[in-house]
């Protein structure tokens, strides 16, 4: 804890929290509106009475996902009247939160910073960097490998097993694609939670070392439930890097315990 910081009352803490939350909310709203409304390519704008639309960051992301994950022989159908608008708004919100993440992290850090000791600040800083890096790495891994495989297997299984025509709901397609990408990002951050538990002495690395087979069995089952792919292909591909990260986590956890004993 910073000795030079004056202790705040309950209401001062509340006002400080509301101020930080308000800044976070404003940043998300502004970033969402930017992704939703501002054009990304002025040269391609050709507004008219019959075509009042122009390319935005949100439309770019939606078109990119469609191009990368949807086979050429498959059609997307907006079954619900509000499906396209709903996907557009949700996608804009997700982009807005992603763009606002540096501000969100900064405001949270500034709120808790006065209550932390110097070594706790260093740990939180490293934890934040590690969590963000692993989440981004997981999202990229999911986008490049897991999601394309998952979507193709789901489409092929419907065609081969039930001989269904390749036509799918617009909202269902994007819900599955975005959901798989998010699960991949979250799966890659799982070691951070274990490191935190070890750091504060809640669990020991010995527990994970002795129960490896149960830990990995539970992890694989969780991945199989969270990913919609009926085959084990995407589950195995996602499990391999997570397995490597978990083994590295145990090694790092042992070093943390060793350094704690020295002090």
Which residue in 176, 198, 185, 187 sits closest to 249, CA to CA?
198
pLDDT, position 50: 47
H or E element that contains 168: strand 167-169
Candidate ranges 5-9, 23-27, 51-55, 174-178; pick with highest mean pLDDT: 23-27
- In the three-class reduction of DSSP (H, G, I as helix; E, B as strand; rest coil), residue 48 is classed as coil
- Copy the structure tokens of residue 5: 């910081």
Which residue in 60, 76, 222, 64 sits closest to 144, CA to CA?
64
Mean pLDDT rounded to a whole number for the chain? 86
For residues 69 and 152, give the distance between their C-alpha atoms in angstroms, rounded to a whole number: 8
- On the question of pLDDT at 35 being above 90, the answer is yes
Q: Are the C-beta atoms of 71 and 152 separated by less than 8 Å?
A: yes
- Copy the structure tokens of residue 90: 């949700």
Q: What's the whole-number mean pLDDT along residues 167-196?
A: 89
User: What are the structural domain ranges in the chain?
Assistant: 10-40+56-115
For residues 178 and 160, give the distance between their C-alpha atoms in angstroms, rounded to a whole number: 25
Which residue in 219, 220, 194 sits closest to 208, CA to CA?
194
Task: State pTM to two decimals.
Answer: 0.82
Backbone φ and ψ for 189, nearest 5 degrees, come out as -90, -5
| Per-residue DSSP letter, 116 | -
pLDDT, position 45: 56
- On the question of pLDDT at 2 being above 70, the answer is no
Q: What's the whole-number mean pLDDT along residues 61-88?
A: 88
Which residue in 124, 49, 61 sits closest to 87, CA to CA?
61
For residues 120 and 260, give the distance between their C-alpha atoms in angstroms, rounded to a whole number: 14
- On the question of pLDDT at 144 being above 80, the answer is yes
């Amino acid at each position: 804890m910073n000795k030079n910081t004056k202790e705040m009352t309950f209401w001062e803490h509340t006002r400080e929290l509301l101020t930080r939350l308000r800044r976070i909310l404003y940043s998300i709203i502004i970033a969402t509106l930017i992704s939703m409304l501002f054009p990304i390519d002025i040269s391609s704008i050709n507004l008219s009475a019959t075509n009042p639309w122009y390319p935005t960051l949100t439309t770019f992301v939606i078109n990119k996902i469609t191009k990368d994950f949807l086979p050429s022989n498959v059609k997307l159908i907006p079954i619900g009247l509000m499906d396209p608008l709903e996907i557009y708004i949700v996608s804009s919100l997700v982009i807005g939160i992603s763009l606002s993440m540096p501000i969100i992290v900064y405001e949270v850090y500034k709120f808790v910073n006065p209550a932390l000791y110097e070594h706790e600040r260093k740990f939180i800083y490293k934890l934040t960097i590690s969590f963000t890096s692993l989440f981004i790495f997981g999202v990229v891994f999911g986008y490049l490998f897991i999601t394309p495989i998952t979507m193709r297997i789901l489409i092929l299984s419907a065609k081969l097993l039930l001989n269904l025509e390749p036509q799918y709901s617009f909202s269902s397609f994007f819900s599955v694609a975005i959901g798989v990408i998010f699960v991949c990002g979250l799966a890659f951050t799982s070691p951070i939670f274990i490191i935190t538990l070890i750091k504060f002495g809640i669990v020991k690395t010995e527990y994970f070392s002795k129960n490896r087979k149960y830990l990995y069995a539970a992890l694989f089952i969780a991945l199989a439930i969270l990913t919609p792919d009926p085959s084990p292909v995407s589950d195995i591909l996602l499990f391999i890097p997570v397995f490597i990260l978990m083994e590295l986590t145990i090694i790092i956890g042992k070093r943390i315990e060793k350094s704690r004993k020295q002090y």
